[in-house]
Amino acid sequence: MSEGENLVAAWKAARDRLREAGVDTPAYDARLLLEAGAGVARTEILTDPYRMLSADQRDAVERLVARREAREPVSHILGRKHFWTFELRVTPDVLAPRPETETLVLCALDLVGADAPARVADLGAGTGAVCIAFAAERPAATIVAVDVSAAALAVAASNIAACGFADRIERVEDDWGAGLPDAAFDLVLSNPPYVRTGALGLLEPEVARYEPRLALDGGADGLDAYRRLLPQIARLLRPGGAFAVEIGQGQAEAVWALADEQGLAPEGVRADLAGIDRVVFGRRPVRG
């Protein structure tokens, strides 16, 4: 970052460096990093673009831009990511919530009535994104947020408290809900790791280098987590209870079959905004 830069020059210089580094949204990311590093609001960049940066502001912006050049995700650099209507805390211990996971939330909302006092489990809660969004839209629901990672659960706990749901979302450290009681839930949700181990190295550097493998690696065919969690879902649901699981591209048929094998009754597949099949949902049959 050169001396004597104003806001717009700093933004353009950062944008060009990020573009050169292969970042796919260089202008947007440069603005976010300039705002955070210089401590200015977006409107100030627009209304006062020739305001000079102090040496401290320049140094702070430089540190953030250098991290993004190394392809660290903006969410990790800033320590936060937007999901649903919330700004969630993100650390290297959790997957930064993805926009496509809002499809899982939308599907879950269709499965539970607006005022239902539903008992819900979120298996693999990570930041708590899914259970927090669901809690916000279903005020009578109580939720158990499960993760095998104590570090992830600590992040979830801080997000749950910050969003005001500590009284309705309990946190449990557990292996896909194995320690939770039988037939106790009206709805079970999960966004498990579903990337094939062999494809991990093909992911963008932002994901491959900086996101926890535990949140990504779905084993040789990407389906290992479903093989372990669908039997738990079948056990945890009350007869007639509903489930919805996020899936990776091309996994709908296989996950549907795995759910069927566990005696669940898959009912549908929901696509995300890009038209990619993203969620398999269904119920535990009332009989059988």
Ligand X SMILES: C[S@@+](CC[C@H](N)C(=O)[O-])C[C@H]1O[C@@H](n2cnc3c(N)ncnc32)[C@H](O)[C@@H]1O
Query: Which residues of the shown chain bind ligand X in the complex (CB under 6 A)?
Result: 94-95, 97, 101, 123-127, 129-130, 146-149, 152, 175-176, 191-193, 214-215
**CA–CA separation, 170 vs 185, rounded Å?**
14
**One-letter amino acid identity for 280?**
V
Nearer to ligand X, 57 or 101 (CB): 101
Nearer to ligand X, 222 or 282 (CB): 222
Nearer to ligand X, 27 or 178 (CB): 178
Q: Are 255 and 245 in contact (CB under 8 A)?
A: yes
CB of 45 vs ligand X, minimal distance in Å: 30
Q: Alpha carbon of 220 to those of 90, 211, 217: distances in Å? A: 28, 19, 9
Nearer to ligand X, 49 or 99 (CB): 99
| 172 CB-contact burial (10 Å; exposed 0-12 / middle 13-18 / buried 19+) | middle
CB of 191 vs ligand X, minimal distance in Å: 4
Nearer to ligand X, 37 or 97 (CB): 97
Nearer to ligand X, 177 or 241 (CB): 177
**CA–CA separation, 219 vs 193, rounded Å?**
9
**Residue 84 in tokens:** 């649903």
Quickly count: other Cβ atoms within 10 Å of residue 92's Cβ: 12
| 68 CB-contact burial (10 Å; exposed 0-12 / middle 13-18 / buried 19+) | buried
CB of 16 vs ligand X, minimal distance in Å: 32
Torsion, Cα 135 139 141 143, to 10 degrees, reads 30
CB of 128 vs ligand X, minimal distance in Å: 7
CB of 251 vs ligand X, minimal distance in Å: 13
CB of 137 vs ligand X, minimal distance in Å: 16
